[in-house]
Structure 1
Amino acid sequence: MLTISQELHDKIVAHARADHPDEACGVITGPVGSGRPERFVPMLNEARSPTFFRFDSYELRDLYRRLDDDDEEIVVIYHSHTATEAYPSRTDVSYGNANDPRIHWVLVSTAECGNGEGPVSFRSFLIADDKITEEDVTVV
């Protein structure tokens, strides 16, 4: 189960809306070993695409340096789907397979609302060995 603060939830949704019609992407970090999402890190979608995301390589390098310096790790990787449901694509699964299986993959679908107000779908998954497991999300 993913437990996330209302503030972090709202920041992810706002980023997804702001970048629509392109996919938004970023991470939430937390203290090593805690599993607690604490620090919001929006990233640039280097692909600038409505159908996939790729972290900017310079931002990613800087992120990993800061993680080491601050004794943090990635707890959540998030991105948006702009025209489809909030469910991992084949590309998302390949990214998930390449990362720590404890990382929560949050997907936000802006298909219904675009960049305006309105409903979004906010879901979280664990991805490992080509297996997608949806998990409950508790917003506190």
Structure 2
Amino acid sequence: MLTIDQATYDAIVAHAKRDHPVEACGIVAGPEGSDRPERFIEMVNAAGSPTFYEYDSTDLLHLYKEMDERDEEPVVIYHSHTATEAYPSVTDVNLASEPGAHYVLVSTREHGNNEGPVEFRSYSIVDGVVTEEEVAVVPTLTRSES
């Protein structure tokens, strides 16, 4: 199960809506081994595509060095789908390289960057196997919720 605070959930949704029709992407880092998504990091989709996302390799290298220095790891890896449901594509599954991360997908297909609900779903992707998991949105993260 993914437990995420309301502010981080709202930030992910806002990023997805703002970047529509281009896929948005980013990471939420947390202390190593904690499963606590604490630090929201909005990334740029270097592909600039409505059907594919790609991190800029220099930005990603910088981020991983920074997370290493802070004893953090990617807890949530998120991106949006602008025209399809919030379910990992074959490409998404093939690119999933963090077995401990929650892969969050936000679909903006229904309302785009206008007001209205989005589809927000989380998955575990390990060795090509996709497993949907429950998402609990809480006001704030407490020690007992992770």
Equivalent AA in structure 2 for residue 48 of structure 1: G
Q: Structure 1, residues 47-71: CA drift from partner, whole Å, max 9, x if none?
A: 0000010011121011011011111
Between the two proteins, what is the percent identity of the paired residues?
A: 62
Aligned to 1:16: 16
Q: Unaligned stretches of 5+ in structure 1?
A: none
Residue type of the alignment partner of 2:43: M
Separation (CA, whole Å) in 2 of partners of 1:103 and 1:54:
17
> What whole-Å deviation, never above 9, does each CA across 1:37-93 have from its counterpart, x for those lacking one?
000000000000000100111210110110111110000100000000000000000
Equivalent positions of 1:57-76 (< 5 A) are 57-76=57-76
Specify the alignment match of 2:101 in structure 1. Answer: 103
Q: Which amino acid aligns with 1:58?
A: T
Q: SS state of the match for residue 41, structure 1?
A: strand
Instruction: Tell me how far 1:100 sits from its aligned partner.
Output: 2.4
Q: State the one-letter code of the partner of 2:106.
A: V
2:21 maps to 1:32: no
SS of structure 2 residue aligned to 1:133: strand
Please, what is the CA RMSD of the aligned residues? 0.6
Q: TM-score, normalised by structure 1?
A: 0.97
Tell me the residue number matched to 1:56.
Answer: 56
The one-letter amino acid of 1:52's match is F
Match of 1:131 among 129, 134, 139: 129
Cross-structure match for 2:93: 93
- Rounded to whole Å, the distance in 2 between the matches of 1:56 and 1:117 is 29
Q: Does 1:112 align with 2:122?
A: no
TM-score (norm 2): 0.93
**Equivalent position amino acid for 2:87 in 1:** Y
Q: Distance in 1 between matches of 2:106 and 2:137?
A: 14
Aligned positions, number = 138
